[in-house]
């Protein structure tokens, strides 16, 4: 055998090389693998919900006509600011104005008749009182019978009754006459009809839409103008219902309009509508704007970050160090006594690239991220 190896020196060389390789592989298997590790650190973290929404005016009105008519003049256009009581649209009103003039004339005539009746009653009452006084004087001298005096007293009493009734007809203690009341009601009705030919702003605001021109025929139910009332703007977003647990009234938020992405502004959750849209599975959330930017317009698209959780001084790990995120059993790999060990962890808030660790890892533990990490159980050395 030895003679054969001596005759073939290449064989010895091959055997030696293989032996060296085997020894080297064994040493590498026993040598700890260098790994990078991180450990728990204290941080203030906040979790935000990022949503798309709209600028919502708190109240808007669609204005129309209560009567059939023809638009005589339209006083405003889109974007105009109006004040309460401003005339926006005037309908053709000749017939309505004529009805008011007629009702005013009837009322004036009725009042004149009532006043004339009062004056006549006053004269008759005064004359009856004078006649009664004269007859009483004559009767006192024995020149008249008692019957004549009683007749005069009755006439004076009747005259006073007519006077009281006449006084009541011009606003006395009893009230107006029936004729004057009817005339006044007719005038009020005519004036109300005339008022319906004028569409006015119920409150101050901005005209959003106009769908009427002079000469258009209008009728009840047709929208002529849309006005957004003056009031602080608010934002509206529609998060999915699974985010309800973290949303509370008063939560702070930051928002920016898509048209001005660099100009962020503060907002606060002011209302969480207590109902879920069954078709979309979303909830309407409104946000108040303490200092709304002047460039915001109704229905403008905005991006909103709502803070739905905050921890002061939380123990956190980088997100990439926690394995199984999004599952029911997150865990980490910890280098302990030269070996890689699996540890189950309980996590809290996730904010940005940080994860709050509630249990499973202690301060100072060397947590090995998965990138480039050996299998659990391998010998490791923390760099």
In this structure, the answer to whether residues 238 and 253 fall within a common structural domain is yes
Judge whether 19 lies within some domain. Answer: no
In this structure, the answer to whether residues 190 and 98 fall within a common structural domain is yes
In this structure, the answer to whether residues 134 and 272 fall within a common structural domain is no
In this structure, the answer to whether residues 237 and 378 fall within a common structural domain is no
Domain count for the chain, please give it: 4
Judge whether 18 lies within some domain. Answer: no
Range of the domain at 74: 60-89+198-229
Whichever domain contains 207, its CATH number is 2.40.50.100
Count of alpha carbons within 13 Å of 375, Cβ hemisphere only?
1
In this structure, the answer to whether residues 85 and 203 fall within a common structural domain is yes
In this structure, the answer to whether residues 181 and 270 fall within a common structural domain is no
* pLDDT at residue number 328: 87
Pairing of strands 33-35, 380-382: parallel
In this structure, the answer to whether residues 147 and 213 fall within a common structural domain is no
Whichever domain contains 293, its CATH number is 2.40.30.170
In this structure, the answer to whether residues 189 and 210 fall within a common structural domain is no
Whichever domain contains 371, its CATH number is 2.40.420.20
Judge whether 291 lies within some domain. Answer: yes
Judge whether 261 lies within some domain. Answer: yes
- Contact between residue 35 and residue 49 where contact means Cβ atoms under 8 Å apart: no
Judge whether 211 lies within some domain. Answer: yes
pLDDT along the chain (383 residues), means of 10: 51 57 51 89 86 87 93 93 94 94 90 77 80 73 69 78 69 59 91 94 91 94 90 90 86 92 93 92 93 88 89 90 89 91 90 88 91 86 85
- Contact between residue 250 and residue 268 where contact means Cβ atoms under 8 Å apart: yes
* pLDDT at residue number 173: 37
In this structure, the answer to whether residues 128 and 273 fall within a common structural domain is no
* pLDDT at residue number 175: 47
Which residues sit opposite 286 in a β-bridge? 236, 271
In this structure, the answer to whether residues 293 and 165 fall within a common structural domain is no
Give the span between the Cα atoms of 35 and 18, in whole angstroms. 30
């Amino acid at each position: 055998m030895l003679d054969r190896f001596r005759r073939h020196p290449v064989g010895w060389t091959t055997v030696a090389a293989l032996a060296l390789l085997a020894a080297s592989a064994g040493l590498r298997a026993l040598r700890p693998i260098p790994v990078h590790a991180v450990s728990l650190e204290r941080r203030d973290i906040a979790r935000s919900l990022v949503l798309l929404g709209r600028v919502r005016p708190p109240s808007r009105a669609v204005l129309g006509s209560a009567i059939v008519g023809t638009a005589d003049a339209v006083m405003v256009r889109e974007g105009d600011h109006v004040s309460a009581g401003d005339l926006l649209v005037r309908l053709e009103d000749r017939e309505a104005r004529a009805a008011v003039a007629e009702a005013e004339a009837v009322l004036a005539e009725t009042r004149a008749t009532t006043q004339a009746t009062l004056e006549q009653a006053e004269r008759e009452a005064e004359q009856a009182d004078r006649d009664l006084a004269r007859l009483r004087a004559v009767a006192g001298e024995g020149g008249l019978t008692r019957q004549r005096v009683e007749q005069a007293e009755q006439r004076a009493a009747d005259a006073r009754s007519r006077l009281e009734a006449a006084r009541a007809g011009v606003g006395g203690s009893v009230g107006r006459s029936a004729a004057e009341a009817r005339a006044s009601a007719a005038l009020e009705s005519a004036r109300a009809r005339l008022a319906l030919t004028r569409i006015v702003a119920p409150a101050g605001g901005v005209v959003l839409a106009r769908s009427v021109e002079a000469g258009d025929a209008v009728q009840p139910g047709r929208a002529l103008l849309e006005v957004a009332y003056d009031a602080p703007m608010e934002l509206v977003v529609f998060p999915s219902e699974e985010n309800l647990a973290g949303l509370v009234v008063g939560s702070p938020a930051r928002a920016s309009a898509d048209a001005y992405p660099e100009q962020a502004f503060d907002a606060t959750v002011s209302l969480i509508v207590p109902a879920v849209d069954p078709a979309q599975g979303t909830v309407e959330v409104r946000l108040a704007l303490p200092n709304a930017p002047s460039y915001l317009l109704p229905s403008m698209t905005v991006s909103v970050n709502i803070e739905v959780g905050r921890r002061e001084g939380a123990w956190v790990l980088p997100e990439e160090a926690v394995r199984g995120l999004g599952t029911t059993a997150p865990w980490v790999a910890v280098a302990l006594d030269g070996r890689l060990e699996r540890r189950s962890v309980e996590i809290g808030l996730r904010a940005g690239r940080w994860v709050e660790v509630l249990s499973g890892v202690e301060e100072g533990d060397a947590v090995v991220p998965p990138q480039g990490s050996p299998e659990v159980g391998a010998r490791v050395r923390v760099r």
